[in-house]
């Protein structure tokens, strides 16, 4: 199957290439970049030397393919999506433009009108662990934000069973520097970024809308509040989620919820060890993998449940999750191309 990537020079595009070049069922046909058009892909993604024998092309030079990955900055794919739909029968958008279903909700969170509101409801949210049946029948899939992936997977079992109160749901998200993309800024300047534990979004994080949209159908009036903090790591996202249990919810019931909902899900691992160094999920050991690790703890003094969810933001949070969606859409094994187990030590 021929696949192409529009917007392939960023970190997410590089991860897509790394995974797709080793995928047994696909051939990477074209990769676009306005800035690097005509340059070898390995010039930008040096880890792909000798593997990626491709040059970047301009978006206008794209030819039809079987499936198109779209990795454009927020606000761009909505303007070109109608034209892209003429190039491929199946599209996976990695950006934010089609994550929300309502133009009004989009404007309230992003501050401007959506350019293609007629397409918003046609995209299926790309979370295979929850919406695999819909993804299998979809032609258009919108990949969620990385904080949203970690939080939704962490929250889904207790929310689906009504084990928690709808508010407050407090998410403390700690993010690696690659989450902000490959473009440099004053915040990414080494003297400013090194050693940082910097809360850059204390309130009003946009990914709250995605979480409420997907999980709000299980608990009416679900209210999610996110605080995002940049920490000194390149890859990884760690969501520490604080929720309050309804009366009577016990640890045995919580364990059963996670085990039942994620039984047979190849990329969710439950981590809650009584001893050892890695008793709870940690992004460090998930670098390069498509796994989401989830653990939890009960506060003995009050009915508070603390959920810990860890991913590699560039893989399970972006590119790997997109390939997992592609596998479902195209009838491939769900794990195809995604078998890398990670490294230890790193």
- 161-178 tens-digit pLDDT: 999 999 999 999 999 998
- What pLDDT, on a 0 to 100 scale, did the predictor assign at position 52? 87
Domain assignments of the chain as residue spans, ordered by start: 2-143+318-330, 146-311
Catalytic residue among 57, 146, 292, 325: 146
- Banded model confidence at residue 183, pLDDT cuts 50, 70, 90: confident
Give the CATH fold of the 146-311 domain. Dihydrodipicolinate Reductase; domain 2 (3.30.360)
pLDDT digits (tens, 9 = 90+) for 132-143: 999 999 999 999
- What pLDDT, on a 0 to 100 scale, did the predictor assign at position 180? 79
pLDDT of 81 strictly over 80: yes
Q: Give me the residues paired with residue 174 across strands.
A: 229, 238
- What pLDDT, on a 0 to 100 scale, did the predictor assign at position 141? 98
pLDDT of 182 strictly over 90: no
Average pLDDT, the chain: 96
Q: Specify the pTM.
A: 0.96
Contact predicate 289/269, CB 8 Å: no
pLDDT digits (tens, 9 = 90+) for 241-289: 999 999 878 899 999 999 999 999 999 999 999 899 999 999 999 999 9
Range with the poorest average pLDDT among 118-122, 157-161, 186-190, 224-228: 186-190
Give the CATH fold of the 2-143+318-330 domain. Rossmann fold (3.40.50)
Is 146 a known active-site residue? yes
């Amino acid at each position: 199957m021929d696949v192409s990537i529009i917007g392939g020079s960023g970190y997410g595009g590089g991860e897509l290439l790394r995974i797709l070049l080793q995928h047994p069922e696909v051939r990477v046909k074209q990769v676009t970049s306005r800035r690097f058009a005509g340059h070898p892909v390995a010039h930008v993604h040096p880890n792909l030397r000798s593997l990626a024998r491709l040059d970047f092309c301009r978006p206008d030079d794209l030819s039809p393919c079987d499936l198109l990955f779209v990795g454009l900055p927020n606000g761009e794919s909505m303007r070109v999506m109608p034209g892209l739909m003429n190039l491929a029968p199946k599209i996976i958008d990695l950006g934010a433009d089609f994550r929300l279903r309502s133009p009004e909700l989009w404007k309230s969170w992003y501050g401007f009108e959506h350019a293609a509101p007629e397409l918003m409801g046609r995209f299926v949210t790309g979370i295979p662990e929850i919406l695999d049946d819909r993804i299998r029948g979809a032609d258009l899939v919108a990949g969620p934000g990385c904080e949203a992936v970690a939080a939704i997977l962490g929250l889904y079992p207790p929310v689906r069973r009504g084990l928690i109160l709808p508010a407050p749901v407090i998410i403390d998200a700690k993010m690696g520097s690659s989450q902000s993309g490959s473009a440099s800024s004053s915040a990414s300047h080494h003297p400013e970024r090194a050693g940082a534990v910097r809360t850059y979004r204390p309130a009003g994080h946009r990914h709250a809308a995605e979480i409420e949209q997907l999980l709000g159908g299980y608990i009416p009036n679900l209210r999610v509040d996110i605080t995002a903090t940049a920490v000194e790591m390149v890859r990884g996202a760690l969501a520490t989620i604080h929720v309050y249990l309804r009366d009577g919810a016990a640890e045995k019931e919580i364990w059963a919820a996670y085990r039942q909902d994620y039984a047979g899900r190849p990329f969710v691992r439950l981590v809650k060890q009584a001893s050892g160094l890695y008793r709870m999920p940690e992004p460090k050991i998930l670098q390069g993998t498509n796994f989401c690790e989830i653990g939890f703890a009960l506060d003995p003094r009050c009915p508070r449940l603390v959920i810990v969810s860890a991913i590699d933001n560039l893989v399970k949070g972006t590119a790997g999750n997109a390939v997992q969606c592609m596998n479902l859409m195209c009838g491939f094994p769900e794990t195809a191309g995604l078998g890398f187990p990670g490294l230890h030590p790193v």
